[in-house]
Amino acid sequence: MVRYAEPGVVEWVESGGGPLIAVPETVLPFWAGADGEETASDYDRACEVDGHVGLLPVGDCTALVLGDEPASTAYLPDQGMFVRWCAGNSEDELLASVPLAVDTAEWEPEVLWDVPGAVLLFDAAWPGAQPSGSERVRVVLEPGRYAVRAARVQPGPETWLGLVQLRLLAPR
């Protein structure tokens, strides 16, 4: 069994204050972030997403916006899940609470997300071509259609986390 809190096993992405976005690698150059000449930047569009998740067109694909709050976020590949650290005393405690959180979550309605393959998760304010190192996490996904559902859960008295679960429905 993987112990997530081992150094280097879980990579967390931070936000400067706005939403995080998972953009398919094939369309990264089309995400301008907060830059741009238009009235509403890509970042502005991401900030307009209401709720825990939403979808935005980017190039000929769709990106997944993790909205609601700028929580540190990690991807747990064996569970197909983004975990958002809203409150908790330690990484160990937070990650140990994930199974209980999944079992007790009151999930919001699913959205369907077509994914061409790997995505990069990063602060939506950054242009797609610029995030690097600790500013992003590469998430390897099988190409296909995913059901995405989200919940905010309190599995312990001082532990709050957001869950965004991806479930492959139809591989390409």
- Whole-model pTM: value is 0.90
**Could you tell me the residue ranges of all domains in the chain?**
20-171
What pLDDT score does 73 carry?
Answer: 94
What letter represents residue 162's amino acid?
G
What pLDDT score does 163 carry?
Answer: 97
Q: Could you report the per-residue pLDDT of 6-35, keeping only the tens digit for each? A: 555 688 898 888 899 999 999 999 999 887
100 to each of 72, 83, 97, 127, 159, how far by Cα in Å? 20, 13, 6, 36, 12
Q: Could you report the per-residue pLDDT of 104-121, keeping only the tens digit for each? A: 999 999 999 999 999 999
